[in-house]
């Protein structure tokens, strides 16, 4: 039986509107949609940019919204940080979140589908992603252990780990892409899928033979721009979403759920 995973990213909680969108209202509607239609999800993961400015009050608001949702235990969302987050402020509100020996917010979890690896690609003072030598050593150890145990691994991170051919996203992807991709290539038989966010539009493809997927933001969705102009970003009244993924030995199937459009659906039934 496939493990059902809900993948959310870039919720950007903040009391003020962002580019004309209400991040808290949108996330509330996202949670309501998940609770209504996907209450049977085995795991829920939010891959970073939990807040827009890394403020304690926004993390407290997130904690309150999650508590009110009733999502707990295995269904409690796994929270990763992104470039709009502040690591220490996040930990002050969510002290139960695991950290590695160097203090990065990354850990592994055994699931029926395999090992879920939650990664910390944030670096203070920059929107670009970083996965330094210490973090890569940690990841190498986790993937080596999974390989020894004959377990598949699924990686979750905020930043795009490779080039996606959109200039304004590629300049703030992971800086150490060659080193990280070389590590992933070495573990290609173990790593089955990469789940990330950061770019705010739907993405899918593969890197070094490893499939990946990314949802849009639940707040301000972007439009992919192939002009090569790094300072240009498209946005507007575009549908936010989250992904529903089914993970098993046969592969990974990813569905995009445009949750604000749920009220437009009409059902035909015999």
Concatenate the DSSP letters of all residues of 37-81 into one string.
Answer: H-TT-SEEEEES--BSS--HHHHHHHHHHHHHHT--GGGSPEEE-
Q: Is residue 145 part of a domain?
A: yes
Q: Tell me the pLDDT tens digit for each residue of 60-118.
A: 999 999 999 999 888 999 999 999 999 999 999 999 999 999 999 999 999 999 999 99
- Least Cα distance to 245 among 221, 267, 212 occurs for 212
Q: Tell me the pLDDT tens digit for each residue of 40-62.
A: 999 999 999 999 999 999 999 99
Q: Is residue 254 part of a domain?
A: yes
Measured distance CA(215)–CA(8) in Å, rounded: 7
Mean pLDDT along residues 191-215: 97
Measured distance CA(39)–CA(144) in Å, rounded: 33
Question: Per-residue pLDDT for 270 more than 80?
Answer: no
CA distances from residue 103 to 88, 107, 231, 243 in whole angstroms, order as listed: 10, 11, 33, 29
Q: What is the CATH number of the domain that holds 132?
A: 3.60.21.10
Question: Per-residue pLDDT for 1 more than 90?
Answer: no
What integer best gives the mean pLDDT of the chain?
A: 97
Q: Is residue 240 part of a domain?
A: yes
Percentage with pLDDT > 70 across the chain: 100
> Residue 226 CB: number of other CB atoms within 10 A?
8
In the block, residue with structure tokens 């139960």: 96
Number of domains in the chain: 1
Q: Is residue 40 part of a domain?
A: yes
Q: Is residue 270 part of a domain?
A: no
Q: Is residue 143 part of a domain?
A: yes
Strand order in the sheet with 191-195: 107-111, 114-118, 153-156, 191-195, 210-214, 203-207
Residue-number span of the structural domain to which 221 is assigned: 3-264
Cβ-proximal residues to 205 (8 Å cutoff; 6+ apart), any chain: 164, 211, 212
Q: Is residue 147 part of a domain?
A: yes
Q: How many residues does the chain have?
A: 270
Question: Per-residue pLDDT for 217 more than 90?
Answer: yes
Q: Tell me the pLDDT tens digit for each residue of 159-175.
A: 999 999 999 999 999 99
Q: Is residue 11 part of a domain?
A: yes
- 99 burial type by CB count under 10 A (0-12 exposed, 13-18 middle, 19+ buried): middle
- Least Cα distance to 80 among 21, 19, 189, 157 occurs for 157
Measured distance CA(40)–CA(75) in Å, rounded: 9
């Amino acid at each position: 039986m496939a493990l059902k995973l809900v993948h959310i990213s870039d919720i950007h909680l903040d009391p003020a509107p962002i580019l004309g969108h209400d991040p808290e209202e949108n996330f509330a509607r996202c949670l309501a949609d998940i609770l209504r239609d996907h209450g049977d999800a085995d795991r829920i993961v939010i891959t970073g940019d939990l807040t827009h400015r890394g403020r304690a009050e926004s993390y407290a608001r997130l904690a309150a919204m999650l508590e009110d949702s009733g999502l707990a235990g295995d269904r409690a969302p796994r929270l990763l940080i992104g470039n709009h987050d502040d690591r220490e402020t996040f930990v002050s509100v969510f002290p139960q979140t695991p950290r590695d020996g160097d203090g990065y917010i990354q850990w592994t979890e055994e699931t029926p589908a395999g090992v879920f690896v939650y990664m910390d690609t944030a670096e203070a003072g920059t929107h670009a992603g970083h996965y330094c030598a210490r973090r890569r050593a940690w990841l190498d150890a986790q993937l080596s252990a999974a390989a020894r145990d004959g377990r598949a691994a699924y990686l979750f991170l905020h930043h795009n780990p490779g080039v996606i051919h959109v200039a304004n996203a590629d300049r703030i992807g992971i800086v150490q892409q060659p080193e990280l991709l070389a590590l992933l290539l070495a573990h290609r038989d173990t790593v089955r899928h990469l789940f990330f966010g950061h770019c705010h539009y739907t993405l899918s493809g593969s890197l070094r033979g490893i499939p990946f997927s990314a949802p849009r933001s639940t707040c301000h969705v972007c439009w992919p721009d192939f002009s090569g102009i790094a300072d240009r970003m498209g946005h507007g009244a575009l549908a936010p979403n989250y992904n529903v993924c089914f993970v098993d030995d046969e592969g990974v199937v990813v569905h995009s759920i445009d949750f604000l459009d749920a009220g437009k659906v009409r059902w035909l039934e015999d």
